[in-house]
Amino acid sequence: MTSKELADMMKSSPAKCHKALVREYGRYVYAIVYNKLRGCGTNEDIEECVSDVFADLFMKCQFDISSENDIKYLIATIARRKAIDSFRRLSVKANHMTDADEESMGELVSDFSVDEHADRSELRRVLLDKIDQLGEPDSTIIIQKFYYNRNSNEIAESVSMTSNAVRVRCKRAMDKLRAMLVEVGITI
């Protein structure tokens, strides 16, 4: 969803715009907030922080009508900042951890990041959607080449083409795919 689409929706119906934002980015914001607050907050604290993110977005942000950019990064920034503020507030409130507790908590820290995983999942979803938009046989060629690691001869047999034709179609399909991804703000 671009800022221009949101601005148009905000003019026609602010309530509809708010619902669309929460529907589109609710899980993404929840993943970011959960990742920051999972060790110190309750489910209610996490849900309150998610609500604060959207309230802050609705009250303070004006959508730049001239921009065609996806506002996902703005929302992610607001979510991270609100979650950090909540973490600090909750940590001060629950200042009952001893040094021994903090040392043992260091052992539980994982390098798995929920928000980074959500970003990668979203990128995969967009990429597969754009590959599907290429149509046949281009989408089949791209999937077989890059997801199944097949060579041109193997792909040629499955799509009833020559291996040279497969290579040419693959190059053209990749050029189209790059252009489609640039339109939505993703560069390879």
Whether residue 94 is found in the same domain as residue 148 = no
Q: Which of 45, 74, 109 is the last residue of a domain?
A: 109
Across the range 159-187, mean pLDDT stands at: 86
- Quick check: is 122 in a domain? yes
What CATH number is attached to the domain comprising 179? 1.10.10.10
Q: Specify whether 89 is located in the same domain as 24.
A: yes
Domain that holds residue 166: 118-183
Q: Per-residue pLDDT tens for 92-120?
A: 766 655 454 555 555 545 555 666 666 67
Q: Are both 128 and 105 inside the same structural domain?
A: no
- Residue 52 in domain: yes
Residue 135 shares a structural domain with residue 67: no
Same domain, residue pair 55 and 134:
no
Give tens-digit pLDDT for 3-40.
677 777 777 877 887 888 888 888 888 888 888 887 77
- Whether 32 maps to a domain, the answer reads yes
Task: Select from 74, 76, 92 the least CA-distant residue to 33.
Answer: 76
Q: Assess contact for 1 and 74: CB atoms under 8 A.
A: no
Contacts of 92 (CB under 8 A, 6+ apart): none
- 50 and 100 inside one domain: yes
Strand partners, 2: 70
Query: Are both 94 and 125 inside the same structural domain?
Result: no
pLDDT at 117: 63
pLDDT grade, residue 152 (50/70/90)? confident
Residue 38 near residue 55, CB atoms below 8 Å:
no
User: Considering its fold, how many domains does the chain have in total?
Assistant: 2
CA distances from 11 to 5, 18, 94, 96, 103 (A): 10, 12, 43, 48, 52
Beta carbons of 104 and 57 less than 8 angstroms apart: no
**C-alpha dist (Å) from residue 64 to 70, 94, 163:** 11, 40, 48
Residues 85, 135: one domain?
no
The pLDDT of 64-88, averaged and rounded, is 75
Q: Is the pTM of this model over 0.75?
A: no
Last residue of a domain, one of 84, 109, 134: 109
As a residue count, the chain comes to 188
